[in-house]
Structure 1
Amino acid sequence: MAFHKFATEIGKSKVSVPATLWKVVVVVDRPGLGNRGVTEKTRVIAVNMPNTTGIQRKSYKDYLTTVDELEKLTGYDFLSDVPEDIQKVIEAKKE
């Protein structure tokens, strides 16, 4: 799912309004372990939602993507503190 970086500019100051809003959620079973608690089985939820009115009745599941796709879109390296072999598995998941 690809979106443009900015939907529009508004106001006198020409404030850029992003076309999408994204989020990455890492669901850890044992939070006290920090990154050591992240395994290949760790659930990761990544979404990329259009910044438009009228989507509040839709499910977040309609906007599921992968961390890999969000990294391509944003240029960020998410989960960089997690071992590389684990990152490769969980960043490709779409759940």
Structure 2
Amino acid sequence: MYEVTPMILSDEGKVFACICIALFIFIITALLLGEERKSKWFQKRKTYSFFLRRGLLGEWLHFGYPCTAEGYGVAAIMLFLIGLSSYIIFAFF
């Protein structure tokens, strides 16, 4: 009767989906870690110029660079999850 065709996204749709999933991973990680662990495990920039100011959401999602083993582990896990989700989106959709 009816033939089911798989949903295929355009290239722009795939890139948008990857960006949304990466943002979702950042938000979930920021919520799970909390500000205390983020400040222990990641180092933020000490000085800000006018051009480097961030908004409230940008400052909340900004992790900085890892400075402890836990920070490197969290960064590696986030990178792996973003890469895996991007691969799945581009390979199967």
TM-score (norm 2): 0.24
Q: From the CA coordinates, give the structure whose radius of gyration is larger.
A: 2
Structure with the larger helix share: 2
Structure with the larger strand share: 1
